[in-house]
Amino acid sequence: MAVMKPPSPSDAGDDEFAIGAEFAAAAEAERRHRAVHGSVSGLLGGARYDFWRGEHDLARFVPSPTDAVVSGLVTAFRRAGHDEQAAMRRDLTLDDFYTLLAFARRGAVLALRLGNPAPVSDGAVAIAMIDPERVDWRDIPSALCLVYHALDRSTIDTADVLRAAARLAVDDVADILEGFAGAGAPHGGLAAWGYMEVSTPEGIGFFERHLGPYAPSCDLAAVAMSAAGVFDSDTYRVHSIAAGAALAPVWFPRTAPGRLERLLDRAGGVISLGAKLHPDADPTAAHQQLTAFLVETAGRSDAIRLTRWAAPTDESGHAAVAVASGPLACVTIARSFVAGVASYETPESLRRFAAPLTAAIATT
């Protein structure tokens, strides 16, 4: 498995800058749009998906009343004439567009769980409603790949649904919809777009899929769901569950990078969990990082070795707690990623996670 160094707070990479630049361009386009057309509250009336309730989570799906609000708007848009559709798109806000994208992603999960293509068909229309200048345009195919995946697993014709949605869209979005309709597959499958399908006790869902190898012999996805619950029951909310994640040497200061790489070459898989600190917990919550790495190693000795290597040194700049059970190891790191801002967690405070995480990764 690849061992990569993550960008530090003082050394942001080009990708991080590009992501910010794309969204900044969308925000500026929204400002110009409102200067011409006037400010509106948005056709959704402020309806949004609540991150802290887990309504953006595509693995641990949470019902939301916002689905009904968005579904009603999508139905009205589908039935409207061309001029009325243009007026509706004009009155949608940047926040509305991101709610529509979340609705499309959620519709893919619902369609797979219910065996009913209606939610994901509505998701295709929701994507057709978007003004691509007022979003980071890359978010459109990212959501559409999930729509395609769910449609392709249904009993209806995927290309017909996407082409019907394309007829409702502006040219750039129509081209993306038509491209997916004509490709026969979402350009390399889910993994190429950064997702993987997972089975959970509640039904099908999606994890993020990073570039590293991932072939665990145990149900590491189920372990990740249990570990996520540990953080959610505290002052955090898990926002990212990613299979095939990379482990950076910076988090393992007690060993050489080469030894870490050799251990990972023997491992079955890595899943990372990223969590956000609740704003009510601390005024600096937006500047805090908490990341946990779940690793299925080659055996118990490797798992113990990994936990020992994760012990921070005086120069590490982060706190860590690491536990092992059988071949599984869980390493949790925490820090402030903004210079001059103190870390919310300390080595002592992180110890509260040791027992529940050990229970979460315990195997029989």
- For residues 62 and 113, the answer to whether their CB atoms sit within 8 Å is no
pLDDT score of 185: 59
Axis-axis angle for helices 171-183, 118-128 (nearest 10):
140
pTM value surpassing 0.85: yes
Q: Percentage of the chain surpassing pLDDT 90?
A: 85
Tens of pLDDT, residue by residue over 305-341, are 999 999 999 899 999 999 999 999 999 999 999 999 9
Q: Percentage of the chain surpassing pLDDT 70?
A: 93
Tens of pLDDT, residue by residue over 53-109, are 999 999 999 999 999 999 999 999 999 999 999 999 999 999 999 999 999 999 999
Alpha-carbon gap, residue 283 to 279, rounded angstroms: 7
- For residues 354 and 323, the answer to whether their CB atoms sit within 8 Å is yes
Residue 296 has pLDDT above 80, yes or no: yes
pLDDT score of 364: 45
Which residue, among 106, 57, 67, has the nearest Cα to 207 in the 3D structure?
Answer: 57
Residue 40 has pLDDT above 90, yes or no: no
Give the residue extent of every domain in the chain. Answer: 14-192, 210-361
Q: What's the start-to-end Cα distance of the chain, in Å?
A: 26
pLDDT score of 5: 26
Confidence of residue 187 (pLDDT cuts 50, 70, 90): low
Residue 3 has pLDDT above 70, yes or no: no
Which DSSP category does 4 fall into?
Answer: -
pLDDT score of 112: 96
pLDDT score of 1: 36
For 173-185, what is the mean pLDDT? 87
Q: Is 240 helix (H, G, I), strand (E, B) or coil?
A: strand
Confidence of residue 15 (pLDDT cuts 50, 70, 90): very low
Residue 12 has pLDDT above 80, yes or no: no
Least confident of 181-195, 233-247, 253-267, 315-329: 181-195
Confidence of residue 43 (pLDDT cuts 50, 70, 90): confident
Q: Is 324 helix (H, G, I), strand (E, B) or coil?
A: strand
Cα 234 to Cα 63, 116, 330, 346: the distances in Å are 21, 35, 17, 15
pLDDT score of 8: 32
pLDDT score of 186: 58
pLDDT score of 16: 36
Residue 32 has pLDDT above 50, yes or no: yes
Average pLDDT over the chain reads 91
Alpha-carbon gap, residue 33 to 305, rounded angstroms: 56
